[in-house]
Structure 1
Amino acid sequence: MSTFAIGDTDFLLDGRPHRVISGALHYFRIHPGHWADRIRKARLMGLNTIETYVAWNAHEPVRGEWDATGAIDLGAFLDLVAAEGMHAIVRPGPYICAEWHNGGLPVWLTSTPGIALRRSDAAYLEALEVYLRRVYDIVAPRQIDRGGNVVLVQIENEYGAYGSDAAYLAELVRITRDAGITVPLTTVDQPEPGMLAAGTLPELHTTGSFGSRAAERLETLRRFQPTGPLMCSEFWDGWFDWWGGVHHTTDAITAAAELDALLAAGASVNIYMVHGGTNFGLTNGANDKGRYLPITTSYDYDAPLDEAGDPTAKFEAFREVIARYAPVPDERPAAAAPAPVFEVALGSVPVGSAPGGSAPGGSAPGGIGSSAEGAVGTGAAPSAASPQPPTFEEVGHLGALLRYETDLPDGFAGGELTVAEVRDHAWVSVDGVRVGAMSRTRHERSVRLPAGSRLSVLVEEQGRVNYDVRLGEAKGLIGPVAIDGRELGGWRATPVALEAAASAPELTVRTGEFALDRPADLFVDTAGWGKGYVVVNDLLLGRYWSNGPQRTLYVPGPATRAGGNRITVIELEQPAPAVARFVEAPLLGPREE
């Protein structure tokens, strides 16, 4: 058995000063067949610790239906970290942000009428206690003082940027300690005095989150917390991308210099991210600070290990810096090899058949892509008629697509359709003919309608906001909906499940077969395609969009097999492509200047 504690100036491992040199890996963003590879490569960069969030909605998308197996087997992930001889840091939230769907909170929770999130609200606290105890059932026996490798557990996440409810934080601490967590507890906030004061408690160890001006930020952190080890537990070495933006990168030499400054000051560090991974399925989040910006499928993050787990220039630069302060293995990861390049002819999918032969992601290894909330639809039964369009939450739909329908007024000769708000993208049809679209990102809320008798609106939920006050907002057509100022009623809403996409009149679906000599990482080139989703075998890779910047979708090798494989393309905006092209390397779009 070992011990891990907080001393006057350092972390103490078995009573001796110890520096944490950690990197973030999210098990829910990596195919489980790649967990061991990514952990090992992180160690070869010089890390001694792996950190992960826990995504509540990945484990419990439906209340009471808890799952911690397969692609979301947190215990197995932590055991692989231990097998590599590394420590682990666990950040269970319950709110995690992470550019992840709804900030990790389940929709069933955030749509509870009257609930107050991230504060001392009875309904919220009751639900999160059940969640946390389930997580700690996994974590507690793996703590370092019980022969395991978990050395730190975080309380909440950057809470000082959101609230100041000390009683709420104290309740999280009570639950955590009562559930058997004995290792030190931490909080993290940006090193601004107001955030640091609101986001922690005296009995918790405060850490910082930043990616630049290390000396200045550490000085602020030290002023707030005079004793104990300094730690940047989110050292931002890159950034995330959103649809319609650019591919964000940071200069490797500049980032390495900031890391050097951190380590030279004697601080511990957790690099966010050492490997970003992928928002498989429909698990991407979104930000909205006046403009709604959904996160891309790739979570490459310009990390030292790219989306496919291959070392980058930043890997070498960080490894060189770490070697000045800690032992680094002589071994290096192998350089990336080009992925197979080939084309696959795509043909129509018979109505009634499931893309890929089964529900997307439904039987993938470990269930990746379906275990996280929102990956597939929940059925196709229409709602009862209602005066206002029901939301996704009101019809109990966890998928991405919901079709709204109503009759137009008798003798309708055309007019202007207006909606109070579209969340998040909508295609409008009259008598089965598409006549326009509305985009939340572009603040579009109206479409000119021609004469007709039946109105249909297909709404796509493009990603739930993962930050600040828009957590848990309703999705769909947010009424009232009117034509030339006259409100429409009689709305019915029908969930459109991706596994039944071939039966949906608004979607075009094409599929093709290809053979591989052995399982292999692949990159699907979506250039020239419109907007939609791709399934390879049983894995829903995620979303593509001509809006960019991302142009390829990553296929993890363990999701493929030697022999026959299948790709299915579900297209929303234009005829589905006749050919799928696989290219040798990722294409994530123009870089930030």
Structure 2
Amino acid sequence: MSFEVADDGFRCDGEPFRIISGSLHYFRVHPDQWDDRLRKARQLGLNTIDTYVAWNFHSSREGEFRTDGWRDLGRFLDLAEAHGLYAIVRPGPYICAEWRNAGLPTWLTARPGIKVRTSDPLYLDATADFYRAVLPIVADRQVSRGGNVVMVQVENEYGAYGDDAAYLRSLVALIRGQGIDVPLFTCDQANDEMLTRGGLPELLRTGTFGSRSKERLATLRRHQPTGPLMCTEFWNGWFDSWGQQHHTTAAQESAADLDDLLAAGASVNLYMLHGGTNFGLNNGANDKGVYVPITTSYDYDAPLREDGAPGPKFHAFREVISRHAPVPAEAPSEFVPAPEFEVDLGHSDWTAVLPESFESFDRLPEQDEVDPEAIFAVYEADVTADDQVVVFDEVRDRVFGFLDSLPIGSVERTQHQRALTLPGAGRLRLLVEDLGRVNYAARLGESKGLIGPARTAVRELTNWRIAAVDHDSLPTLTDGADTLPVGRPVAGPVLLSGTFDAAGVDLFLDTSGFGTGIVWINGVLLGRYWSAGPTTTMFVPGPLLREQHNSIVVWELAAASRPVAKFVSDPQLGHTEA
């Protein structure tokens, strides 16, 4: 079987072919629900599925590359083929995707002097190792070998970042060197500058846009005089950020733009078909002068909602696609409300999470110097009554401060805060939280923690002790712990825990009675919640649950007015007005 880019469009086995695709990121969907989402992709009328490969999802530690369970890219591609779907794979190494560090491992970006997304040998050598690990999985599944992979992307919207053609050609050589023989392509925002900077004349250029399809395709055609026109990211919604509104777009307006695109004969990839969830604190962040972390929910107002149920855009897009291509008669069932119930939570002393050993520094270290993969770290230093206040050059991203065991306030990067008042002498203890690694623009790859120096009213604070918090071990700390009475308000940081029975169906955890923190179900980290909104529920995939004795652990960092786990019938993603 063959797939090629011809002067008059795509050709599959020599016959004209139009790609009608949708993005579905396997790392944002529980693997036991991949099959359901792929079936619904076919029911929408899609013939192709598109996914990024998040390097850091497979390689959180240097020297490892995991492909088991949730990370089984090969199984995901095989399931797509079983549903009659071709596949487009976008391995980066940079993916953006509103994902932690844009998919780049933190052990990589923490290397002194490394220059990501360039021809820097440090970066290209690591990328070559990544490709050697992941691309054989893709190569074995190319259409040229009897599989379903029809195209592979080189980099991702590079024109918004740089213009180093030699770097892009180095990636092409590395990709081809791993046996990839299907067409390669680049994608960039559909404007003249980015299409010029981000593409190569020998590769197919594609565009990204979500409106004004005719105008955007005309721009793309100026840069791609022959061959197929393709919108690789048809933005049919948008992501949400903490403290902002839930983004939605009108289904009929988006459908009209999709109709214009297909009527022009172009190929399309819906971004997103199904957004899913940033499980495990893998959300990214943006910083264009103001740091804005992305929510746990990646619903995206996509045709398939965060829980996989069809939304208004599913039906509107299905009707549009049916005008241009065959659509299966079978349609997905509609959303069924989830069970509603409450679970009492006992709570335990938060000091159980404190690390047993600390590293000592004569200066204020950045968190990445200790463990670039850590989400939480504890900093300690001794202060005197004369110090009065401590000021940091920068906080990345949130600090909960204590003098001995007394809470003394918090500092939020999102508010450009940098100072804490010191009410007296004692041990200053700071719990520092990474709210999300920047995934776009100049601050990509920046380190986390406290950026020094740290100064008080009278001196620079030195002699610091720092330790990473192993948040993966926190659920075990509630086993056999003495709990305080349930139901009454509690001050954080505090570990809350309880058990419940369930029938293996999807659930929605209501977080409206809590401040901010993280949640595990049966030891699996769902992600972060925050009263800043917009969302006030967390999606709990049914495959995580068993009929009896499910555990829920909440690490509340601020305060909870009613520490009860309340499960509600449907998702609450927040207000939609800015």
Q: What TM-score comes out, normalization by structure 1 length?
A: 0.93
Q: Which moved more, 1:240-249 or 1:389-398?
A: 389-398
Counterpart selection for 1:395 from 362, 367, 370: 370
Counterpart selection for 1:407 from 364, 377, 382: 382
Give the letter for the 1:394 counterpart: E
Matched, 1:522 2:495: no
Matched, 1:109 2:108: yes
User: For residues 417-443 of structure 1, what are the alpha-carbon distances to aligned partners after superposition, in whole Å with 9 as ceiling and x for unaligned?
Assistant: 111000001111112211111111100
Once the two structures are superposed, the pairs formed by residues 125-164 of structure 1 within 5 Å of their partners are: 125-164=124-163
The 1-side partners of 2:403 and 2:352 are apart by: 27
- The aligned counterpart of 1:539 is 524
- The aligned counterpart of 2:298 is 299
- The aligned counterpart of 1:433 is 406
Percentage identity across paired residues of the two chains = 55
Deviation at 1:506, TM superposition (A): 6.1
Matched, 1:560 2:545: yes
The 1-side partners of 2:520 and 2:335 are apart by: 24
The 1-side partners of 2:351 and 2:68 are apart by: 30
Contact 1:382–1:492, Cα closer than 8 Å, also in 2: no
- The aligned counterpart of 2:169 is 170
Give the letter for the 1:250 counterpart: T
Counterpart selection for 2:449 from 471, 476, 499: 476
- The aligned counterpart of 1:368 is none
Q: What is the SS of the residue equivalent to 1:34?
A: helix
Deviation at 1:203, TM superposition (A): 1.3
- The aligned counterpart of 1:313 is 312
User: For residues 133-156 of structure 1, what are the alpha-carbon distances to aligned partners after superposition, in whole Å with 9 as ceiling and x for unaligned?
Assistant: 211110001000110000010000
Q: What TM-score comes out, normalization by structure 2 length?
A: 0.95
Give the letter for the 2:291 counterpart: Y
What is the count of residue pairs matched by the alignment? 565
Question: What is the CA RMSD across the aligned residues, in angstroms?
Answer: 1.7
Give the letter for the 1:511 counterpart: S
The 1-side partners of 2:276 and 2:492 are apart by: 31
Give the letter for the 1:122 counterpart: P
- The aligned counterpart of 2:572 is 587
1:336/1:353 CA distance change after superposition, 3 Å:
farther
Contact 1:413–1:450, Cα closer than 8 Å, also in 2: no
Give the letter for the 1:182 counterpart: D
The 2-side partners of 1:184 and 1:11 are apart by: 10
The 1-side partners of 2:114 and 2:220 are apart by: 33
1:63/1:338 CA distance change after superposition, 3 Å:
same
- The aligned counterpart of 2:499 is 513
Deviation at 1:416, TM superposition (A): 2.2
The 2-side partners of 1:14 and 1:180 are apart by: 20
Deviation at 1:545, TM superposition (A): 0.4
Matched, 1:346 2:345: yes
Contact 1:382–1:495, Cα closer than 8 Å, also in 2: no
Matched, 1:500 2:499: no
The 2-side partners of 1:351 and 1:401 are apart by: 13
Deviation at 1:497, TM superposition (A): 2.2
Contact 2:387–2:457, Cα closer than 8 Å, also in 1: no
Q: Which moved more, 1:187-196 or 1:84-93?
A: 187-196
User: For residues 214-264 of structure 1, what are the alpha-carbon distances to aligned partners after superposition, in whole Å with 9 as ceiling and x for unaligned?
Assistant: 100100100111000000000000000000001000000000000001000
Once the two structures are superposed, the pairs formed by residues 245-264 of structure 1 within 5 Å of their partners are: 245-264=244-263
1:417/1:240 CA distance change after superposition, 3 Å:
same
Contact 2:513–2:560, Cα closer than 8 Å, also in 1: no
The 2-side partners of 1:102 and 1:489 are apart by: 30
Contact 2:107–2:372, Cα closer than 8 Å, also in 1: no
> Any stretches of 5+ residues in structure 2 without a counterpart?
482-490
Matched, 1:443 2:416: yes
The 2-side partners of 1:334 and 1:558 are apart by: 19
- The aligned counterpart of 1:486 is 459
Contact 2:350–2:492, Cα closer than 8 Å, also in 1: no
Give the letter for the 2:575 counterpart: P
Give the letter for the 1:525 counterpart: D
Contact 2:2–2:143, Cα closer than 8 Å, also in 1: yes
Contact 2:349–2:494, Cα closer than 8 Å, also in 1: no
The 1-side partners of 2:563 and 2:42 are apart by: 43
Q: Which moved more, 1:291-300 or 1:174-183?
A: 174-183
> Any stretches of 5+ residues in structure 1 without a counterpart?
355-378
Give the letter for the 1:573 counterpart: A
- The aligned counterpart of 2:359 is 384
